[in-house]
Homo-oligomer: A and B are copies of this chain.
Amino acid sequence: MTFKFNNVYVGNTATVVGPYEKEGPLGNKFDKTYDDLYNGEKSWEKAEAKLLSESVDILLKKSKKKKEEIELVVAGDLLNQITASCYGLEKYKIPFLGIFSACSTSTEGILLASTLIDDARVKNAIVSVSSHNMASEKQFRNPTEYGAPRPKTATFTTTGGASILLQSAKSKVRVESATIGKMCDMDQKDPNNMGAAMAVAAADTIYTHLKDTKRDANYYDLIITGDLGLYGKDILLEYMKSEYGIDISSNYNDSGVMIYNTERQTEVLAGGSGPACSPLVNYSYTIPLLEKGTIKRLLIVATGALFSPTMVYEKEPILSISHAVSLESVK
């Protein structure tokens, strides 16, 4: 299911990250960085909520907007009960829609907010997401203090808050269309290999998007999935070719691979993940390329592993989903 938009623009973006993202290749492009994973808070959860709310503060400042001018905020994160979004955003008193789509939350939020703006129901909406490496490890796997070893297919949850202002007022970048994904089940049960669970969801959504819009893959200057990581990226490339006969190798990259220097930062293993991963890369790097006109067309394909530790304990597979958003440089 693909929606077209005519009047939705990117007002601004804001990103706040932790030490690992700061050390990565995009480190100097983020709006704010922390050397300490606690960033002055007393718990990982509160640290994550702060990353998210600081990204909103920076976004409002960059956009020269008061919070009263924002009619809606759509947000979600990986923490149970989307805690970082709720506790990070309550203070703004902006009408709030909570969403959950794991690491594809950002594109679900952008597509929902864009629809409401394009259909003239809202003029200014913020979409916010976050993730925190330690908060996620504690919740989903083991507290990192246990020192459990992890295989090389495991990804490293990014620490960051990322917000985007979408608006009806014209700017240099517009949201052109969006595709809602379907859940996929690859019978993948290894929480240390999310890329394998998500690659097929990304492929299904890219294929659906291209079919719905009657486009070739090379219509886009860049297709950025994420967070598949090194192994998931390879699976996607092969799967797109074998299943759909589509070769995206020339214009494709993955945000999980782009956010870290996987060769030097060996602790990140297969690369970055978490709801913040895709928007951190796209808001700090690819959307500015659209603003400058360096690239004209960008397809963001955020991917979510709907990983429930409870269901994996109960021998169920990890389901996945992916939502895509197409952005264009405005002449």
Q: In the complex the two chains form, is A97's CB within 8 Å of B112's CB? A: yes
How far does the alpha carbon of A284 sit from the alpha carbon of B90 in the complex, in Å? 33
With both chains docked as a complex, state the minimum distance between the C-beta of A322 and any C-beta of chain B, in angstroms. 11
Chain B contacts for A87, CB-based, 8 A: 308, 311, 316, 319
Q: In the complex the two chains form, is A90's CB within 8 Å of B181's CB? A: no
How far does the alpha carbon of A323 sit from the alpha carbon of B182 in the complex, in Å? 26
- The proximity string for A residues 295-331 relative to B, scoring 1 for CB distances below 8 Å and 0 otherwise, is 0000000000011111100101001010000000000
How far does the alpha carbon of A90 sit from the alpha carbon of B90 in the complex, in Å? 32
Chain B contacts for A86, CB-based, 8 A: 183, 306, 308, 319
Q: How many of chain A's residues have a CB under 8 angstroms from any CB in B?
A: 51
How far does the alpha carbon of A122 sit from the alpha carbon of B121 in the complex, in Å? 16
Q: In the complex the two chains form, is A121's CB within 8 Å of B112's CB? A: no
How far does the alpha carbon of A182 sit from the alpha carbon of B90 in the complex, in Å? 8
Q: Does A26 contact B (CB under 8 A)?
A: no
Q: Does A227 contact B (CB under 8 A)?
A: no
How far does the alpha carbon of A321 sit from the alpha carbon of B95 in the complex, in Å? 9
Which one of A71, A102, A116, A181 has the greatest number of beta carbons of chain B within 10 Å? A116
Residues 263-312 of A at the B interface (beta carbon under 8 Å): 306-311
Instruction: Look across to chain B and name the residue whose beta carbon is closest to the beta carbon of A89.
Output: B183
Q: In the complex the two chains form, is B89's CB within 8 Å of A102's CB? A: no
Q: In the complex the two chains form, is A182's CB within 8 Å of B93's CB? A: yes
- The proximity string for A residues 71-110 relative to B, scoring 1 for CB distances below 8 Å and 0 otherwise, is 1100010011111001101100111111111100000100
Q: Does A3 contact B (CB under 8 A)?
A: yes
Q: Does A43 contact B (CB under 8 A)?
A: yes
Q: Does A45 contact B (CB under 8 A)?
A: yes
A-B contact pairs, 21 of them (CB 8 A): A1-B95, A1-B122, A43-B314, A45-B308, A45-B310, A46-B314, A76-B100, A80-B81, A81-B102, A82-B306, A86-B183, A87-B319, A90-B319, A93-B183, A94-B182, A96-B182, A97-B99, A98-B100, A98-B101, A100-B100, A115-B119
**Measuring CB to CB, which residues of chain A are less than 8 angstroms from any residue of chain B?**
1, 3, 42-43, 45-46, 71-72, 76, 79-83, 86-87, 89-90, 93-102, 108, 112, 115-116, 119, 121-122, 180-185, 306-311, 314, 316, 319, 321
| Further 14 A-B residue pairs, CB within 8 A, beyond A1-B71, A98-B321 | A1-B72, A45-B310, A45-B311, A72-B180, A80-B310, A81-B100, A83-B310, A95-B181, A96-B180, A96-B183, A98-B101, A98-B108, A115-B119, A119-B119
